[in-house]
Amino acid sequence: MEIAASISGLPPAAGKGAPASRRHAAAPGAGGRRRRRGAGRGLALLLALAAWTGAAWGHAQPASGAGLYAQDCAVCHGPRGQGKIGPSLQAAHDAGTVLAMIRSGKGMMPPFAGRLTAAQMQAVADYVSHTLATVALTGGNLSEGGVLFRVNCAPCHRTDARGGALAFTQQNAPALTGLSAAAIAGAIRGGRGPMPAFPPTVFNDRQLASIVSYVRFVQHPPTPGGYPADFLGPVAEGLIALLMVAALGVIAYWIEFQGRG
């Protein structure tokens, strides 16, 4: 049997008279079981470490709106909400609008609905609207805002705030018709794209409120009647009226001299 076992390549079987230590050493799978037990202990240790690290990370998340803002928002909007890569938030007094922006994102801003809990997003929105929003958009004068807008903003955005072409940047200045008061004030304070920033040394808070009041007024101007022609302005509307009169003249001439059978 020993010769046959040697030829087959297997070690000789331990007989009954062999020592117990030898029979135990020769038992198949004993070393494998020890290795599996060691690997199991190591895996359990790694899982416990991962669970502890995850718990520690969860506790490390800021609980206050100020901490969450500093961690996730200040890099784009500035530590005081003054604007940086993203727009200024110093006029964002509406917590509901801020919350919707945090939840869904907009433009380059990613949504935070999957990263922050509902309570955390609400805490950030409250912090922005109650603490960082220091620019009051009340008390503005419509007439003053119209003068300031026509001097400083109309060359790019037109007097009706419908936007226009910018030859020096080969871009179009955006229309302001669909923007909220906070978005308008934030763009003025922080600047956007080729538009420069207008800090309080250029426009104080009252003047800023006046410009916002004018823009909000021209977004939905009163219509005395007739077709407003998209509020293109008196020059463009006068040209349209002149062309219509000329067309009526041509039709009258044709009827008088060419329409006879």
Query: Do residues 114 and 147 share a domain?
Result: no
- pLDDT of the residue at 111: 92
pTM of the model: 0.50
* CATH number of domain containing 118: 1.10.760.10
- pLDDT of the residue at 148: 93
Q: Does residue 197 lie within any of the structural domains?
A: yes
- pLDDT of the residue at 37: 57
Q: Does residue 40 lie within any of the structural domains?
A: no
Query: Do residues 120 and 181 share a domain?
Result: no
Q: Does residue 172 lie within any of the structural domains?
A: yes
Query: Do residues 155 and 109 share a domain?
Result: no
Q: Does residue 94 lie within any of the structural domains?
A: yes
Mean pLDDT of 47-54: 42
Q: Does residue 208 lie within any of the structural domains?
A: yes
Domain with 102 in it: 65-132
What residues are paired with 109 via a beta bridge? 106
* Neighbouring residues of 108: CB distance < 8 A, sequence distance ≥ 6: 85, 86
Mean pLDDT of 138-162: 87
Query: Do residues 125 and 147 share a domain?
Result: no
pLDDT bracket for residue 10 (50, 70, 90): very low
Q: Does residue 2 lie within any of the structural domains?
A: no
- pLDDT of the residue at 156: 86
Which of 76, 107, 132 is a domain's end point? Answer: 132
Over 60: is that where the pLDDT of 73 sits?
Answer: yes
Q: Does residue 195 lie within any of the structural domains?
A: yes
| Structural domain total, the chain | 2
Q: Does residue 109 lie within any of the structural domains?
A: yes
Query: Do residues 123 and 166 share a domain?
Result: no
